[in-house]
Amino acid sequence: MSTPPSIVLPESVTFSGKTALVTGANSGLGYAASLHLLERGVSTLVLATRSNAKGEETKARLLAEPSLTSRHVQAKIMAYELDLASEESVKSFATRVAADVPALDTVILNAAVNMLNWMPTPSGSDMVFQVNYASTALLSFLLLPLLRDSARESKFPSHLTFVSSRMYAYSPLISSPILGDASIFEKINIPKQSNMKRYHDSKLLLNMWVCELAKRIEPSEIVINCLCPGLVQTNIDSSLPFWLKPILAAWRYWSGRTADLASWGMIYAAGPAGSETHGRMLSDNELVTYTPFLGAPEGEEMSRKLWEETLEYSERLQPGSVHASRLKK
């Protein structure tokens, strides 16, 4: 896959004085984005990884990177545990960040899984739906007050960036949307046969969440956007069946980009990208058009339902979170 030269940001793009948070920071795009943030002078970096051991190992690995040792990086790096398969973990992570981090200028919600076989979370949800959508949306919602307060303090908009995928356009939900009285959370959570499309569904829901959230928050406070990094050589296939992995590995090797290159798109979306990207999707630092379904009546109805269900979900798990988010009416 060719790489537009513009995707690598000029040295003038800096995160000096800023605090950033990256989920899935130990691997692939999350690790590469964390490295770029440090290279570009971020003052505080919060690494969210699935265990404390992974967080500490990631911190040590980053600090040993030649591009950082040569720059004498002074950043404060905080490693926090976040398991998106667990709602309790999401809540305690958000509480800890709010307590320990005085300001939060940039959040990159990058962590995700891809699975063919259905796997339940400890509370019985579909793992792909929980990690890629429900917990990610919940976390974004719980971080809004801190992002907004930081914008007010710094007098610059904060950034909330979701790593999505263009594969959302292949979601079967586009031809069979969940409408009417049916609950999206319940319908998605029914244990299913092996189905790779759950990843596509989860990314469609994520894009709907980005659109709905952006309608209710001014970009002068928080710029909310998402991006597709393209095909990248990472561990995203690690939970797929053993027979599929070599095929996908070959495809990624021949047609994909390195995480180091592709992650510049995340840095753009989470930093220099302005209000024109609010509620929109980026690819290689440029806006891409959503599939027409999202702007069609059925897509809009499903997005509204998803919005309401996600707010109820957040309020049930964290009473007061809707009030605290101070959404536009």
Ligand X SMILES: NC(=O)c1ccc[n+]([C@@H]2O[C@H](COP(=O)([O-])OP(=O)(O)OC[C@H]3O[C@@H](n4cnc5c(N)ncnc54)[C@H](OP(=O)(O)O)[C@@H]3O)[C@@H](O)[C@H]2O)c1
Q: Which of 31, 133, 168, 199 is catalytic?
A: 199
CB 85 within 8 A of CB 93: no
- Tell me the β-bridge partners of 22: 47, 108
Choose one: 1-9, 23-31, 63-71, 241-249; the region binding ligand X (CB under 6 A). 23-31
To 5 degrees, how large is the angle CA 153–CA 73–CA 11? 75
Q: CA 240: distance to chain centroid?
A: 21
Pairing of the two strands 19-23 and 44-49: parallel
How many residues touch ligand X under the rule CB under 6 A: the total is 28
- Contact between 46 and ligand X per CB under 6 A: no
Choose one: 9-17, 37-45, 110-118, 170-178; the region binding ligand X (CB under 6 A). 110-118
Least distance to ligand X, CB of residue 256, Å: 6
Q: Is 203 a catalytic residue?
A: yes
Least distance to ligand X, CB of residue 6, Å: 19
Least distance to ligand X, CB of residue 269, Å: 12
Rounded CA separation 79/122 (Å): 24
- Contact between 269 and ligand X per CB under 6 A: no
- Contact between 134 and ligand X per CB under 6 A: no
Choose one: 146-154, 211-219, 224-232, 276-284; the region binding ligand X (CB under 6 A). 224-232
Least distance to ligand X, CB of residue 165, Å: 4
- Contact between 113 and ligand X per CB under 6 A: yes
Reported for 60-65, long-range contacts at CB under 8 A and 24+ positions apart, including other chains, are: 61/31, 62/31, 62/34, 62/35, 62/38, 65/35
Least distance to ligand X, CB of residue 136, Å: 8
Give residue 94's identity as a one-letter amino acid code.
A
Q: Which of 133, 203, 268, 290 is catalytic?
A: 203
Give residue 2's identity as a one-letter amino acid code.
S
Rounded CA separation 275/298 (Å): 27
Q: Is 215 a catalytic residue?
A: no
DSSP 40: T
Provide the token pair at 219.
């970009």
CA dihedral of residues 318, 158, 96, 112 (deg, nearest 10): 80
Interacting residues with ligand X between 68 and 87 (CB under 6 A):
82-85
Among 232, 267, 269, 281, binds ligand X (CB under 6 A): 232
As annotated, the active-site residues are 199, 203
Query: Which residues of the chain form contacts with ligand X (CB under 6 A)?
Result: 24, 26-30, 50, 54, 82-85, 110-113, 131, 163, 165, 228-229, 231-232, 234-236, 238, 259
